[in-house]
Amino acid sequence: MAGVPQIAVVGASGDLGRLILAKLYDVVEIEVSGTSRKPALLSDFLKHEEPPGILELDLEDVSAAAEALQGFDKIIFCPILSLSAPVGLELRKLGSEAQMIFFSSNNVGLDFESPVYEELRQAEVKISEMSGVWSIIRPTMIYGFLGDGNIGRLVQFAMTKSWLPMIGSGNALQQPIHYDDLCDLTVDLVLREDAPPREIGAAGPDCVSLAELYDKIIAAAERNVRCIRPPLGLIKPLLGKNGKIGPISAAQIRRAEIDKRPTWPLPEGWTAKISLEEGISDLVSQFRANAHK
């Protein structure tokens, strides 16, 4: 249909991308395509009578990826900004005027020692100098799937162990955001007729201390789980080759006493809907459902 916005969801086979693609598929006023390095991972979308286009795309091949995306009016880059930014910049060089949405990390504004976040910081600067309509979203801790590496990992630990390790005093504030809320925010941004804000924070409705977060996880698990707080001097030597001990990573240890509040403003008029209790309870249900398969 002439004049219908063409939207691409890049990295649509990931947890967030899949949610965004599914939600956009139900919007009749647009045409949407999903991309993945492994299109077979999106085969379930091909079961629809009128499926969205599924494209094979590798962001590491910058030139080829930019050429493949030239025809789209709006592009949501779900992979992390350090991987997505070169393609967005190349698209501008090719003359694309597409609206682009990117994802960075709230830790860019908190952790100034990690080379990972320094790379993201530099990518943010490059995008900020880019012409046209664009947005960068800095989500806080994202959760909602058992494999999310954050609360999902802690829930799995609480459901299988008798203890749950906590690093630090437990006083640092946390404001996690559920995947569903982050999806809704992204879809709202891409469907706006006016230019969206450029630098966007994304956080859930509940701000709690780390200790309170652990209490909510243990309560939802409904098991006799004890929270332990090993001294940092003892736990650092126990980190494995992957930089983790149980559900705790070296990066989490370094940021243990830093408040994880949003470092960029939340969009005006937008509020996340899924409470921590609801999100954690759903993770416990996911665990139990998987255990019975």
pLDDT tens-place string over residues 125-168: 999 999 999 999 999 999 999 988 889 999 999 999 998 988 88
Alpha-carbon distances, residue 110 vs 79, 127, 252, 260 (angstroms): 20, 20, 12, 8
Closest by Cα among 134, 119, 127 to 85: 127
Residue 96's SS3 state is: coil
Q: Which residues of 9-20 are buried (b: 16+ CB within 10 A; e: fewer)?
A: bbbbbebbbbbb
pLDDT of res. 225: 93
Q: Are 103 and 128 in contact, with CB atoms under 8 Å apart?
A: no
Spatial separation of the C-alpha atoms in residues 137 and 154, rounded to whole Å: 25
pLDDT tier, 1 (very low <50, low <70, confident <90, very high otherwise): very low
Q: Which helix (H) or strand (E) holds 24?
A: helix 15-25
Spatial separation of the C-alpha atoms in residues 245 and 248, rounded to whole Å: 5
pLDDT of res. 54: 87
Q: Are 23 and 35 in contact, with CB atoms under 8 Å apart?
A: no
Q: Which helix (H) or strand (E) holds 99?
A: strand 99-103
Q: Rounded to 5 degrees, what are φ and ψ at 191?
A: -95, -5
Closest by Cα among 110, 260, 141, 137 to 201: 137
pLDDT higher at 158 or 4: 158
Domains and CATH numbers, the chain: 6-139 (3.40.50.720), 143-177+204-260+273-293 (3.90.25.10)
Please give the model's pTM, rounded to 2 decimal places. Answer: 0.90
| Mean confidence (pLDDT) of the chain | 90
Q: Are 101 and 24 in contact, with CB atoms under 8 Å apart?
A: no
pLDDT of res. 96: 97
